Amino acid sequence: MADLRPIAAPFVALGPSGVAVRTRLGDLTPADEKVLRLVGAHLGSLASKDLRARCAEGLENSTESWAARKRDLTAESSSRWAGSITKATHDQWALARRGQAAHVQSLEAVITTIRHRLSLPVGQKGTKRTPGGYRSAHEWFHKARRLHVLQDRLEKVRADREAGRVQVVRGGKRLLGTRHNLDKAQLTEAEWRERWEAGRWFLKADGESGKRFGNETIRITPDGEVSIKLPARLFDLANAKHGRSVLAAKARFPHRGQEWADRVEANRAVAYRIHYDTGRDTNADHLAAWRLDTHGNPIGRPRRFFYDLSRGAQHRDAQVRHALTRLLNWAKSCGVKAIAVEDLDFQAGKTREKHGRKRRFRQLISSMPTGKLRARLTSMADATGIAIIAVDPAYTSKWGAQHWQKPMAGPTRKTTRHDAASIAIGRRAQGHPIRRRTTPPRAHQSDVHGHRTVQADRRAPGREGSRPRIPGPRTRSVPPDAARTRATRTSTTVRGVRSDQEWVQDSLLLTD
């Protein structure tokens, strides 16, 4: 039997350090739109210059250089705007470095796979764990050429990483690539230019505890009045004291509005970000869940929370949010204290070298922003007092289907592979093995040691006692009228026990 990779220990996901609440600024007047566009464009140009200066520093960044950049930005905006811009620059540079490290890891994984397949004879079949050789000499030749291309690319990426060079696109690399495919994106050049400029605007301000309403730069009063501290070059647009512009539009927070109001009235730090028409992608399919008791046994029926992702980004985002809301409401009604989820990461396993020509499968796993989904679930669960436990996803689908899919199916209930995997995930989070029973030693594969079920509690009555002897025939030579008491030859029953009698323990009942 091949060695299995070690299973990482489950851990409780950390609660959110902050809560993001979104709303819309409706009924903007032309004057409001003019102010937002001019401020966003001006601060966006400053953010672009600061990001370019930070990337030029590379690994030589220091506190002194950061202070110098902030002084230059303060002269054209304000001290608080400069602080927000430099903080966003550092975060973006750090994100690019993490992406660069992930790119190196992905290239190394692809190169290792190609080398392995090239070393095998053409046409040799692979296994479930390792791929085989290439199917033809033609494919072997092209993969050998691709290996040299990837090795050269890896050397360049490693050199950039050692030198501290990163590639960052303000506005988004995907939107930049859309410029060369306007027909496919069904956009005109003017429409693309509007999206591109809006994506490069900067209107984000960090909060400060102790300041009025928790933020001096972008201020929202408890009654919804929005005012912005204008940069020095745009003071002529001010319509209030101290160089501020008050918008005619009001801000309302239907979701978690009371929590926001409590922070604002207590002058606690609140960060704000104003952006224009930004959408997010999300996951596909559905969420499968099953409630388990303390012994790892499934209770009741499986639950599935479906969502439709066939429309736009805002619709997809709302669908996932509603599915998570239904999941949390169901968990809260059941009295659940924790939800177990898989700690998925497809970064090293979504390349075409690993999955060959399975293009649809690669597109499926590439479209799953699992980190964002878990972050949203953690944030929403924190408000209900439910903890999130992340577990290693290794073999959960395979072992769940092997040990739980068939036993949990019935005439009126069809158990899917996803339902069985949810049981495996929950049992791993509880510290139980996924399989339902543990095989005793070879010399004692009988009931010498009592009940074999591993999830039996130590305090269960009669846990270590022997089973009662049931009188009856012990051979297969039985009269026809004793069919119901005839012993079977399967290893899951005891000789001399009636086949219609079920032996269970109180702590193992698989019922509601």
Q: Please say whether the beta carbons of 225 and 244 come within 8 A.
A: no
Which stretches of 200-345 are DSSP H helices? 257-265, 313-333
Count CB atoms within 10 A of the CB of residue 118: 14
Q: Are strands 218-220 and 225-229 parallel, antiparallel or unpaired?
A: antiparallel
DSSP-based three-state secondary structure for 245: strand
Name the more confident of 478 and 316. Answer: 316
Superfamily of domain covering 280-430: YqgF/RNase H-like domain (3.30.420.140)
Specify the pLDDT at position 364: 53
Q: Please say whether the beta carbons of 470 and 501 come within 8 A.
A: yes
Specify the pLDDT at position 468: 62
DSSP-based three-state secondary structure for 420: helix
Q: Please say whether the beta carbons of 141 and 14 come within 8 A.
A: no
| All residues at 6 or more sequence positions from 490 whose CB lies less than 8 Å from its CB, including other chains | none
Q: Is the pLDDT of residue 352 over 80?
A: no
Mean per-residue pLDDT of the chain: 80
Cα 51 to Cα 43: distance, rounded to the nearest angstrom: 12
Count CB atoms within 10 A of the CB of residue 69: 20
What b/e sequence results for 420-452 when a residue is b if at least 16 CB atoms lie within 10 Å of its CB, and e otherwise? bbbbbbbbbbbebebebeeeeeeeeeeeeeebe
| All residues at 6 or more sequence positions from 465 whose CB lies less than 8 Å from its CB, including other chains | 450
Lowest-pLDDT range of 115-124, 157-166, 366-375: 366-375
DSSP assignment of 150-217:
HHHHHHHHHHHHHHT-----TT-HHHHHHTT-HHHHT--HHHHHHHHHHHT---EE---TTSGGG-SS
> Element (H or E) spanning 246, and its range?
strand 244-250
| C-alpha dihedral sign at 95, 96, 97, 99 | positive
Q: Please say whether the beta carbons of 12 and 39 come within 8 A.
A: no
As a dihedral over the C-alpha atoms of residue 92, residue 96, residue 101, residue 105, rounded to 10 degrees, the angle is 130
Pinpoint the residues of the chain covered by CATH 3.30.420.140: 280-430
pLDDT digits (tens, 9 = 90+) for 262-310: 999 999 999 999 988 644 343 356 788 999 998 889 998 888 888 776 6
State the number of CA atoms in the 13 A half-sphere of 248 facing the CB. 9
pLDDT digits (tens, 9 = 90+) for 166-194: 999 998 888 899 898 888 888 889 888 98
Q: 339 phi and psi, to 5 degrees? A: -120, 130
Cα 463 to Cα 477: distance, rounded to the nearest angstrom: 33
| CA neighbor of 207 nearest in space, from 197, 217, 222, 220 | 217
Joined tokens for residue 128 = 């479930």
CA 172 and chain centroid, separation: 21
The whole-number average pLDDT for the span 210-227 is 92
| CA neighbor of 317 nearest in space, from 340, 345, 283 | 283
Which of 118-122, 251-255, 345-349, 392-396: highest mean pLDDT?
118-122
Q: 218 phi and psi, to 5 degrees? A: -110, 110
Name the more confident of 356 and 153. Answer: 153
Q: Is the pLDDT of residue 116 over 80?
A: yes
Q: Please say whether the beta carbons of 249 and 229 come within 8 A.
A: no
Cα 298 to Cα 426: distance, rounded to the nearest angstrom: 9
| CA neighbor of 369 nearest in space, from 280, 279, 282, 286 | 282
Q: What is the DSSP letter of 227?
A: E
Q: Is the pLDDT of residue 502 over 90?
A: no
Would you mind telling me the total number of residues written for the chain in this entry?
Answer: 512
Specify the pLDDT at position 441: 64
Residue at token pair 């999955």: 355
Sheet with 244-250, strands from edge to edge, namely 218-220, 225-229, 244-250
Specify the pLDDT at position 287: 83
Q: What is the DSSP letter of 402?
A: I
CA 352 and chain centroid, separation: 22
| All residues at 6 or more sequence positions from 140 whose CB lies less than 8 Å from its CB, including other chains | 118, 122, 133, 134
pLDDT digits (tens, 9 = 90+) for 406-458: 888 888 888 888 888 999 999 999 988 888 765 656 666 555 555 454 555 55
Lowest-pLDDT range of 248-262, 396-410, 472-486: 472-486
Name the more confident of 359 and 415. Answer: 415
Cα 270 to Cα 272: distance, rounded to the nearest angstrom: 7
pLDDT band of residue 467 (cuts 50, 70, 90) is low
Cα 85 to Cα 73: distance, rounded to the nearest angstrom: 8
Specify the pLDDT at position 470: 64
From the CA atom positions of the chain, what is the Rg in Å?
31
Q: 144 phi and psi, to 5 degrees? A: -65, -40
Q: What share of the chain is helix, strand, coil (3-state, %, to 5)?
A: 45, 10, 45
